[in-house]
A and B are shown apart, each in its own frame.
Chain A
Amino acid sequence: MSIEFDNNLPIYLQIMNYIKREIVTGKLKAGDKIPSVRELAAELQINPNTVQRTFQELEREEVVETRRGLGRYVTSEEAKIMLIKKEMAGDLLDHFINGMQELGFSNRDIASIVAEAVDANNE
């Protein structure tokens, strides 16, 4: 596991996003065990309390679940994973649309530019 961290953004958010991405792209599968706090902290060379916070937030969002005495696992609910995927797509879209609006494109322009780009990509 390796992450290029941006030291100016909260580290726990960056690890959360990283783990979500691993889940959505199938590198971590539904029901897989995830590393312990200590393992992940050592691997990423970051503060163990930061990893702890990451896992707490992921639990709160029901992305991972703790099984008593066994460790933490990726949620086994496929619906939850689809939801994460949609959220991540939503973030990408917001980012893209904001960028295009800043460049001065109207919503209609943006839609047609996207359609053209998708077509071009298929050829």
Chain B
Amino acid sequence: MDNLLQFEKVSKSYGSRKALNDVTFSIAPGKIVGLLGTNGSGKSTLMKITAGLLPVYSGNVKVNGHPLELNTKSIVSFMPDRPMTESWMRVRDAIDFYSDFYPDFDLDKSLQMLDFMNLKREERISSLSKGMNERLQLTLALSRNAKLYLLDEPIGGVDPVARAKILDAIVEFYSEESSLIISTHLVKDIERIFDEVIFIKDGELVLQAEVEELRLKHGKGVDEMFREVYAE
């Protein structure tokens, strides 16, 4: 089967600081992949490149077999770590905004998800708690019928209840032909929903593995591997 995402020797610098260094990996369709690393390891840079938001880098990136360009954006749905909604909006405005902007936005799915998330259409976004806001952002990202979903820290800074709800929603609403890349540094709570994990450290890829194989072969879960790789 063709890879949904392929990185080949990708590097990216901000001035003299290398954010990504010679990163190569690929992701097959139908996978939930954990992109793991400590703060500043290059996770967000990798996601932004994939989303087509950082045009200048070296190396090759292909989405669904095509080189990164404008038309790959239509099959990549990106949930950034900072909300893309405006503070004047109500929940329904955000839904309308996405629905206008993305031809693949599935309004029915978004309404189902709002319901699942206990979000009300009339609520002001500025009055949502952090956890509720994360739920909204996830609803917006997953309501597109994309092939590749990029979720940047979807459970960062929310309480365990909201976290569980967000994980529920991911398992419930993601479609099996698509792939999902989820970046996080909170490994323990989320590792059971991953097929594969990619560890990056100081901009370099240090491990890509199937998680059940890690457990079978090494008797170690992702959290334990993570602690070993990132021990200081």
Whether chain B is bound by chain A comes out as: yes
Partner of A46, one of B171, B176, B219: B171
Q: Are B194 and A47 in contact (CB under 8 A)?
A: yes
**B175 shortest CB reach to chain A, Å:** 11
**What is the bound-complex CA distance between A5 and B221, given in angstroms?**
11
A53 at the interface (CB under 8 A from B): yes
- Bitwise, A37-56 to B at CB < 8 A (1) or not (0) is 01001101111111001000
B224 at the interface (CB under 8 A from A): yes
Partner of A41, one of B171, B216, B221, B223: B171
Known contacts: A5-B192, A47-B32, A47-B193. The answer to whether A12 contacts B219 by CB under 8 A is no
Residues of A within 8 A of B8 (CB): none
**B230 shortest CB reach to chain A, Å:** 17
Interface residues on A, range: 10 to 19
B120 at the interface (CB under 8 A from A): no
B167 at the interface (CB under 8 A from A): yes
Known contacts: A7-B188, A50-B212. The answer to whether A42 contacts B193 by CB under 8 A is no
**A1 shortest CB reach to chain B, Å:** 14
Residues of A within 8 A of B192 (CB): 5, 7, 11, 44-47, 50
Q: Are A11 and B212 in contact (CB under 8 A)?
A: yes
Residues of B within 8 A of A8 (CB): 215, 219-221, 224
Number of interface residues of B (CB under 8 A): 24
**What is the bound-complex CA distance between A54 and B176, given in angstroms?**
17
B164 at the interface (CB under 8 A from A): yes
**What is the bound-complex CA distance between A122 and B191, given in angstroms?**
45
**What is the bound-complex CA distance between A42 and B219, given in angstroms?**
25
Q: List 26 A-B contacts (CB under 8 A).
A: A6-B221, A7-B188, A7-B192, A7-B222, A7-B223, A8-B215, A8-B220, A8-B224, A10-B212, A10-B215, A11-B192, A11-B215, A12-B212, A38-B171, A41-B171, A42-B168, A42-B171, A44-B192, A45-B168, A45-B192, A46-B193, A47-B192, A47-B193, A47-B194, A48-B171, A53-B212
Chain B residues in contact with chain A, CB under 8 A? 30-32, 164, 167-168, 171-172, 176, 188, 191-195, 212, 215-216, 219-224
Chain A residues in contact with chain B, CB under 8 A? 5-12, 38, 41-42, 44-50, 53
